[in-house]
């Protein structure tokens, strides 16, 4: 009798994905709230002779993990980002890598806008003010902030999520600028169709001219620390910086200093470095007046998380069956 392949899942993902996996495989789940250590993942993969690994962005998947089970044929990450996986090592070993592109684009763009609006219109401060019983009367200058409509929005990285974020500027009649490695005429056309005229500019120009700057680059060697001291210096003292990409794209110490000196007005972060950001971190001295932080919830709508769970299940199945993955990180990274 042939053995049923085993899939090790490093956290309880939405049931719809687990159910699909259980229909064909032995599924072993790390049920705790906090992630398993790398050593634990290595030893479980080895003990189980796992053929599939379903991981999260908080798990480091390096050569040691990939070598843990000789039968490992696929790693599927419950994320679009794959900076936590050593893709070269996976490609060398012929291990397929699945991820969840596309499905979380709109949901993450919604969150970028939630942070943008929150920072501009000071809603978190407003809530804290009311909850602290400080609301005694209507105030002519109480919690005033910049207008969002008619302002200039800068998108750093006009990929899927950057484009979806830019599209939403149409309803606010904003001017949109974008920067990146090169001009993207096809993205400009896509935006023009919804009434957004997006102008390609050098990053420094974007930083100097935009009221809101939203970061949408993947984390790579080239984008780590992309926004540091000199970039923050270029920004206006009224500017608001939004990050829903990866925490390491911003130099945290430089941001802390820029918020302290008033070099920029506010930051809205869904991703941080370090992550999680402890409440005694120096950055928190700016909250909520100058800083709003959410716990990496860009893709956290119920529908999107369910679709992500189905996608990792589909990728895992394809990898174990030796088929081409529907969403391959190796292919997307040009390694396949
Ligand atoms: C991702 O998928 O990479 C996001 O950061 C979390 O959904």
177 catalytic per annotation: no
| pLDDT exceeds cutoff 60 at 1 | no
- The finding on whether 45 has its CB within 6 A of some atom of ligand 1 is no
Instruction: Report the predicted TM-score, pTM, of the whole model to 2 decimal places.
Output: 0.96
183 catalytic per annotation: no
Distance, CA of 135 to CA of 218 (rounded, Å)? 42
246 catalytic per annotation: yes
Residue 184 token pair? 């993207």
Distance, CA of 335 to CA of 4 (rounded, Å)? 30
Contact 323, 78 (CB under 8 A): no
- Using the CB atoms, write b or e for 12-28: b if 16+ within 10 Å: ebbeebbebbeeebebe
Distance, CA of 302 to CA of 281 (rounded, Å)? 30
Residue nearest to atom 2 of ligand 1 (CA): 79
3-class secondary-structure state, position 82:
coil
- The finding on whether 57 has its CB within 6 A of some atom of ligand 1 is yes
Helix or strand (DSSP H, E) at 308:
helix 302-320
In which band, very low, low, confident or very high, does the pLDDT at 336 lie, cut at 50, 70 and 90?
Answer: confident
**Which residue out of 108, 164, 315, 327 has the highest number of ligand 1 atoms within 8 Å of its CB and is therefore the one to mutate?**
108
Q: How far is CA 214 from the centre of its chain?
A: 12
Distance, CA of 160 to CA of 107 (rounded, Å)? 11
**Ligand 1 atom closest to Cα of 79?**
2
Distance, CA of 23 to CA of 272 (rounded, Å)? 37
CA distance to 19, 263, 306, 307, 331, per residue, from 314 (Å): 12, 47, 12, 10, 16
Give me the pLDDT at residue 124, please.
Answer: 98
Give me the pLDDT at residue 2, please.
Answer: 65
Residue among 177, 216, 296, 305 flagged as catalytic? 296
| Stretch 41-45: mean pLDDT | 98
| pLDDT exceeds cutoff 70 at 132 | yes
pLDDT digits (tens, 9 = 90+) for 201-226: 999 999 999 999 999 999 999 999 99
pLDDT digits (tens, 9 = 90+) for 244-283: 999 999 999 999 999 999 999 999 999 999 999 999 999 9
Mean pLDDT value across the chain? 97
Residue nearest to atom 3 of ligand 1 (CA): 81
- The finding on whether 298 has its CB within 6 A of some atom of ligand 1 is yes
Residue among 11, 44, 122, 246 flagged as catalytic? 246
CA dihedral (103, 105, 107, 108) positive or negative: positive
- Using the CB atoms, write b or e for 274-294: b if 16+ within 10 Å: eeebeeeeebeebbbebbbbb
pLDDT digits (tens, 9 = 90+) for 68-98: 999 999 999 999 999 999 999 999 999 999 9
In which band, very low, low, confident or very high, does the pLDDT at 180 lie, cut at 50, 70 and 90?
Answer: very high
Residue among 175, 205, 233, 275 flagged as catalytic? 275
Distance, CA of 83 to CA of 41 (rounded, Å)? 18
Residue the block writes with tokens 């790398």: 38
Distance, CA of 41 to CA of 10 (rounded, Å)? 8
| Stretch 41-62: mean pLDDT | 98
With CA atoms as reference, report the closest residue to 272 among 300, 252, 298, 242: 252
**Ligand 1 atom closest to Cα of 100?**
2
Residue the block writes with tokens 């119920």: 302
Residue 11 token pair? 């956290």
């Amino acid at each position: 009798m042939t053995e049923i392949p085993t899939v090790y899942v490093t956290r309880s993902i939405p049931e719809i994905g687990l159910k699909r996996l259980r229909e064909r495989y032995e599924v072993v789940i790390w049920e705790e709230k906090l992630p398993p250590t790398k050593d634990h993942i290595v030893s479980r993969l080895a003990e189980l002779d796992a053929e599939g690994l379903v991981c999260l962005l908080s798990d480091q998947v390096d050569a040691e993990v990939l070598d843990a089970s000789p039968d490992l044929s696929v790693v599927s990450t419950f994320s679009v980002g794959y900076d936590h996986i050593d893709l070269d090592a996976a490609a060398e070993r012929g291990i397929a890598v699945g991820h969840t592109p596309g499905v979380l684009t709109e949901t993450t763009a919604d969150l970028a806008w939630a942070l943008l609006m929150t920072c501009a219109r000071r809603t978190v401060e407003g809530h804290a003010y009311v909850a602290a019983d400080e609301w005694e009367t209507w105030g002519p200058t109480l919690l005033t902030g910049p207008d969002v409509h008619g302002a200039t929005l800068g998108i750093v990285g006009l990929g899927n999520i950057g484009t979806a974020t830019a599209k939403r500027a149409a309803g606010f009649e904003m001017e949109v600028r974008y920067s990146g490695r090169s001009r993207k005429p096809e993205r400009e056309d896509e935006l023009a169709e919804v009434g957004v005229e997006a102008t390609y500019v050098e990053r420094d120009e974007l930083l100097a001219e935009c009221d809101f700057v939203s970061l949408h680059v993947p984390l790579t060697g080239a984008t780590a620390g992309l926004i540091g001291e000199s970039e923050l210096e270029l920004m206006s003292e009224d500017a608001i910086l939004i990050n829903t990409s990866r925490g390491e794209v911003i130099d945290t110490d430089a941001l802390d200093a820029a918020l302290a000196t008033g070099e920029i007005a506010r930051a809205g972060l869904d991703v941080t470095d370090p992550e999680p950001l402890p409440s005694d971190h120096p950055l928190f001295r700016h909250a909520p007046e100058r800083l709003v932080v959410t716990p990496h919830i860009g893709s956290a709508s119920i529908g999107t998380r369910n679709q992500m769970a189905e996608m990792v299940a589909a990728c895992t199945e394809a990898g174990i069956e030796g088929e081409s993955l529907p969403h391959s990180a190796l292919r997307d990274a040009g390694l396949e």
